[in-house]
């Protein structure tokens, strides 16, 4: 299982890019997982439903299961956020994990950047950013057009040396 980071400022298109990459990888027979880091509080279940009520009542973990999916919710209750490595250890085996966020993580990364955001580039401060998917070429680093999903997918597979991508 190999991980590859997709980093950039909010509104740069990270989630949209991952959403477009997933079918491309799946069409090539790869099993892909995603880890998304958020700096905001979020709810994964519906307020008022049983699992939500269990969490609100103080459950440390709640696992909800159905014939269609299962989800494990873990309340930190003041404990520190787990590291990327701890989250990776929780995943089922797969070929590739796309990591959205975790900007400081020590893994190969692609920066997603849009000129309309008027934000600075991340790559000058992070040597683990190997290329930029952007609407304009970055200074001093490989540029891949933000809309060229195939080129971005091939770049990720080549970087990680994932088998079988040559036939993609």
Q: 52-68 pLDDT, tens per residue?
A: 888 888 778 787 887 88
The answer to whether the beta carbons of residues 107 and 94 sit under 8 Å apart is no
Question: According to CATH, what is the number of the domain 2-38+81-167?
Answer: 3.40.50.300
24 CB contacts (<8 Å, ≥6 apart)?
A: 149, 150, 153
How many Cβ atoms from other residues are within 10 Å of residue 139's Cβ? 9
Task: Report yes or no on whether pTM surpasses 0.85.
Answer: yes
pLDDT in tens, 9-22: 999 999 999 999 99
Q: Counting Cβ atoms within 10 Å, is residue 69 exposed (0-12), middle (13-18) or buried (19+)?
A: exposed
Domain ranges of the chain: 2-38+81-167
**Residue carrying structure tokens 């998917």:** 133
Task: Report the 10 Å Cβ neighbour count for 40.
Answer: 5
């Amino acid at each position: 299982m190999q991980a590859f980071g997709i980093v950039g400022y909010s509104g740069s298109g990270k989630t949209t890019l991952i959403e477009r990459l997933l079918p491309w990888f799946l069409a090539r027979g790869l099993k892909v997982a995603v880890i998304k880091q958020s700096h905001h509080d979020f709810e994964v279940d519906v307020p008022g439903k049983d699992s939500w009520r269990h969490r609100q009542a103080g459950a440390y973990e709640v696992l909800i299961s159905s014939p269609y999916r299962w989800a494990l919710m873990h309340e930190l209750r003041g404990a520190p956020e787990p590291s990327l490595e701890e989250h990776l250890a929780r995943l089922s085996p797969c070929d590739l994990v796309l990591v959205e966020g975790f900007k400081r993580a020590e893994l190969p990364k692609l920066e997603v950047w849009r000129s309309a955001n008027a934000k600075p580039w991340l790559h000058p401060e992070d040597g683990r950013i190997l290329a930029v998917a952007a609407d304009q070429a970055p200074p001093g680093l490989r540029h891949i057009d933000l809309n060229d999903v195939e080129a971005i997918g091939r770049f990720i597979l080549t970087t990680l040396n994932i088998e079988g991508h040559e036939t993609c």
